[in-house]
Amino acid sequence: MNVPADLRYAKTHEWIRQENDVITVGITDHAQSELTDIVYAEPPKVGAEVRAGATAAVVESVKAASDIYSPLSGTVTEVNDALTSNPALLNTDPFGQGWIFKMKASNPTEIDALLAPEAYTAQIGQ
Amino acid sequence: MSDLALLKHTPLESAHVACGARMVEFGGWYMPVQYSGIMEEHRAVRSASGMFDISHMGEVIVSGPGALAWLESLLTNRVGKLAVTRGQYTLMLDESGGVIDDLIIYRTGELSYFLVINGACRDLDLEWMHGHLPSDGSVVLQDQGNDYAAIALQGPDAEKALRALYPACDIPKRNGIALLIPSLVASDGIVPSLVARTGYTGEDGFELFVPVAHGIALWESLLAAGVKPCGLGSRDTLRLEMGYPLNGSDLSRDRTPLEACLDRFVGLDDPEKGDFYGRKALEQQRSEGLPSQLTPLKLSVQGPPLRSHYPVLADGVAVGETCSGALSPSLGEGIAMAYLPEVCRIPGTQLEIEVRGRRYAASIATLPFYKKPSL
C-alpha cells in the first residue's frame, strides 16, 4: 500500500499536503482500497468552514456511503470538480488527481496531531 | 462488527477466502460481499457467468399423503398446479397477511416437495411451519438446511458451464428441477444433488444443491470453468435491477404481498385455491384499498447512489422511505423501491428522494428497471 513520505495522515485515513498556506486533502490508498469502486463523491462547498475530525465530504462505493473527515479546522478554498464526473479518480490516483479539497487552516498547530508516514503505515498494519 | 463466533458459517468459506473475498455479516451469516469488485461481478453475470454461494439459504423437504393440502394452506399460490419437476415462486404469510418469507417450492415427487427459504429467516420459517403442522402425522417436515451447500450459477453462459461439467445431466427448463447427474450422494444416502433452473439475477441460470462435503469441489470446478465468483453486493444490484424483492428490506410482516405488488403470486382469484393463512386479511385489504404500494423509483437527475431508508417526498411532503436502493451498474442511474400511497401516482406529482438533506427529483419507473437488450 502506497504511503507517500511527504504527507501527513489522519487516523481516519485522510492525508494532507502542505504547500505554503494551502492544505490539500484526500483519502489514502488504503482507504480507497477498502472502499472499493467509488461511484460518487460529494466534496464540501468552497467557503465552507470545516472542523478537525468533523465530516467534510462523502464518498460512496456501490455498497456504502463513507464520511470523509477534515484533518484540520479551517476554510475550504477549492474543491476538485473532476470528481463529480469521474469519482473513480479516488481509486486510481488517490494522492494526485483524486484530491478532494483545498483549505486554509485556522489552527495550523493541529498539524502536529496528525500522523507521520511511518506511524500511519504502522496503523494500517503494513 | 459482529462477533465472528456468533455468526453462522457457510461450508464454502475457505474457498471464498482463497478467492480473495471480502467477508461481512449478513442476516446472521458470515458471507462474501465481493471479490474483484461489485461492478465487475455484476457485469460478469449480465454478460457471461458468475456464481454465488447461497448455502445460507434453507432447504426444507415436505412429504407425505397430507403434504399437498398442508402446503396449500401455508402458501399463497396453488401448489396443486405444479407437475413433478416443476417449481414456482411463492409466499408464506401470517394470519394478518404479513410476509413471513418468500420462497421457491419445487415438486420433486408425487408426494414430495423441496422448499428453498431465505437464510436470514430459516429458524422463524421452520418454527412457523412446525407450529402449523397437522397433528395426524400425514406430513413429514425435514430441515435439510445444514446438509446442503448451494451455489447459484447465473448468466447467459451458465448453461454452457453446466453442460461442460455435467454432460450427462438432464438440464431442466426454466423453473424446473432435476437430479444433478452424475448424482453426488452423501454416505447416508438421503441428500440427492439437485439442479434447479432458477435464480435472483434476471439472467438464465441454475441453483445447484449438493451435499455439504461436495460444496468446495463444485465451487472449484466452476471456477476452473471460468465462472466468476460473485458476492452479495452484486447479488443485490442484480436483483434490484429486476425489481425482485428482498425479504427484510422490501418484504416484512408489516406488509402484504398485495402492497408489495406480488398479486400474480397470490391465488385469490384461482377458483381451485382454497383457504390459506392470510387469505382473509388479503381479501379485506383488497376490498378496502391498499394503504401503499411498493413503487419503483428512478432519479431523474444525476445524484448519489440510492440506498434504503432515504425519505421520499411528494410535492414536498414526506410520504415514505426507500426500502432498497442502488446505483444500477447496468444503467448508471439511481434506482430504488419505496412503499408509497396512491396519491404519488397522480400525474404531475413532483417526487423527490432526500439524501443527506438534499432533495433529488425522481420519477416512477416500470419494472424491470433493466431490460435485456434484444439481439
| B53-109 confidence digits (pLDDT tens) | 999 999 999 999 999 999 999 999 999 999 999 999 999 999 999 999 999 999 999
Sheet of B177-179, strand order: B177-179, B194-196, B205-211, B148-154, B50-53, B228-229
Q: Is the pLDDT of residue B188 over 80?
A: no
Cell numbers for B289, please give them: 384499498
Element (DSSP H or E) covering residue A20: none
CB B338 within 8 A of CB B365: no
- Based on the fold, state whether residues B153 and B37 are members of the same structural domain: yes
Quickly state the pLDDT bin for B257 (edges 50, 70, 90): very high
For position B187, what pLDDT does the model report?
A: 43
Q: How many domains does chain B fold into?
A: 2
Answer with the residue of higher pLDDT: B188 or B189: B189
Disruptive mutation site among B310, B330, B356, B360 for chain A (greatest number of A CBs within 10 Å):
B356
Nearest residue to B47 via CA among B153, B154, B155: B155
B330 touches chain A (CB under 8 A): no
- Based on the fold, state whether residues B53 and B150 are members of the same structural domain: yes
Q: Scanning every residue of chain B, which has its alpha carbon at the shortest distance from the alpha carbon of A61?
A: B305
CATH number at residue B336: 2.40.30.110
A58 touches chain B (CB under 8 A): yes
- Establish if B105 belongs to a structural domain: no
Q: Which of B226, B242, B258 represents a domain boundary (last residue)?
A: B242
ipTM of the complex: 0.89
- Asked if B38's CB is within 8 angstroms of A61's CB, the reply is yes
Long-range contacts of B4-10 (CB under 8 A, 24+ apart): B4/B30, B8/B56, B10/B53, B10/B55, B10/B56, B10/B149
- Asked if A62's CB is within 8 angstroms of B326's CB, the reply is yes
Q: Which of B205, B227, B242 represents a domain boundary (last residue)?
A: B242
- Residue from the list B33, B37, B356 with its beta carbon closest to the beta carbon of A37: B37
- Based on the fold, state whether residues B47 and B196 are members of the same structural domain: yes
For position B169, what pLDDT does the model report?
A: 85
Quickly state the pLDDT bin for B373 (edges 50, 70, 90): confident
Residue located via cell numbers 397433528: B135
Quickly state the pLDDT bin for B186 (edges 50, 70, 90): very low
- CB contacts, 8 Å: B233 with chain A: 62-63
The Cα-based distances of B326 to B86, B141, B149, B315, B336 in angstroms read 33, 38, 29, 23, 6
Q: Scanning every residue of chain A, which has its alpha carbon at the shortest distance from the alpha carbon of B22?
A: A34
Q: Averaged over B134-158, what is the pLDDT? A: 97
Q: Per-residue pLDDT for chain A (126 aa), expressed as one digit of tens each? A: 899 999 999 999 999 999 999 999 999 999 999 999 999 999 999 999 999 999 999 999 998 999 999 999 999 999 999 999 999 999 999 999 999 999 999 999 999 999 999 999 999 986
Bond into B211 cis (ω within 30): no
Quickly state the pLDDT bin for B375 (edges 50, 70, 90): low
Domain hosting residue B339, numbered range: 292-375
- Asked if A60's CB is within 8 angstroms of B38's CB, the reply is no
- Establish if B129 belongs to a structural domain: no
Q: Which of B242, B269, B302 represents a domain boundary (last residue)?
A: B242
CA–CA dist B130, B98 (Å, integer): 18
Nearest residue to B333 via CA among A119, A28, A40: A40
- Establish if B319 belongs to a structural domain: yes
- Asked if B237's CB is within 8 angstroms of A65's CB, the reply is no
Report the mean per-residue pLDDT for chain B: 95
Tens digit of each residue's pLDDT (9 = 90 or more) over B343-352: 999 999 999 9
Element (DSSP H or E) covering residue B300: none
For the domain spanning A8-107, the CATH number is 2.40.50.100
- Based on the fold, state whether residues B190 and B305 are members of the same structural domain: no
Is the overall model pTM greater than 0.90, yes or no?
Answer: yes
CA–CA dist B89, B158 (Å, integer): 21
- CB contacts, 8 Å: A61 with chain B: 38
- Based on the fold, state whether residues B40 and B170 are members of the same structural domain: yes
- Establish if B182 belongs to a structural domain: yes
For position B62, what pLDDT does the model report?
A: 97
- Based on the fold, state whether residues B150 and B235 are members of the same structural domain: yes
CATH number at residue B198: 3.30.1360.120
Tens digit of each residue's pLDDT (9 = 90 or more) over B189-231: 567 899 999 999 999 999 999 999 999 999 999 999 999 999 9
